[in-house]
């Protein structure tokens, strides 16, 4: 497990999420435009807003997980299960770089 590569991938994903969430937030603020005058169009806009809010929430949760993983990389605890202290399998970390638990503890 190459920590430099993992850190770089986590930082890249973090930057991507920050940009995406900024775009979502701008869209939710309706920068430069308000709600449509037509009620059916307003209903569609509000439905779209709900989807965007879900994406924003998921992005924020992923950012928290990424920040946690970056903190563990920095303090040397990355790859250790937070529950039992055993190493998390490299395959699991490759699939879920923000994993905090080994597969046994996750189950």
Would you state the structure tokens that stand for residue 88, as one six-digit string? 């998390």
pTM to 2 decimal places: 0.82
Answer whether 97's CB lies under 8 Å from 12's CB. no
List of the chain residues with pLDDT < 50: none
**What pLDDT sits at residue 49?**
86
Would you state the structure tokens that stand for residue 24, as one six-digit string? 């979502």
Q: 101: Cβ–Cβ under 8 A, 6 or more apart, which residues?
A: 81, 82, 83, 88
Using CB atoms within 10 Å of the CB of residue 80, give its burial: 0 to 12 exposed, 13 to 18 middle, 19+ buried: middle
**What pLDDT sits at residue 31?**
65
Domain ranges for the chain, please list them.
3-77
């Amino acid at each position: 497990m190459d920590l430099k590569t993992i850190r770089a991938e986590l930082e890249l994903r973090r930057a991507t999420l920050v940009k995406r969430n900024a775009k979502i937030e701008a869209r939710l603020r309706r920068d430069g435009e308000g709600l449509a005058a037509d009620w059916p169009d307003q209903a569609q806009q509000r439905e779209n807003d709900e989807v965007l809010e879900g994406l924003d929430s998921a992005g924020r949760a992923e950012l928290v997980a990424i920040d946690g993983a970056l903190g563990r990389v920095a303090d040397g605890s990355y790859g250790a299960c937070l529950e039992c202290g055993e190493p998390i399998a490299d395959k699991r970390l490759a699939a879920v770089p923000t994993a905090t638990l080994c597969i046994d503890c996750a189950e």
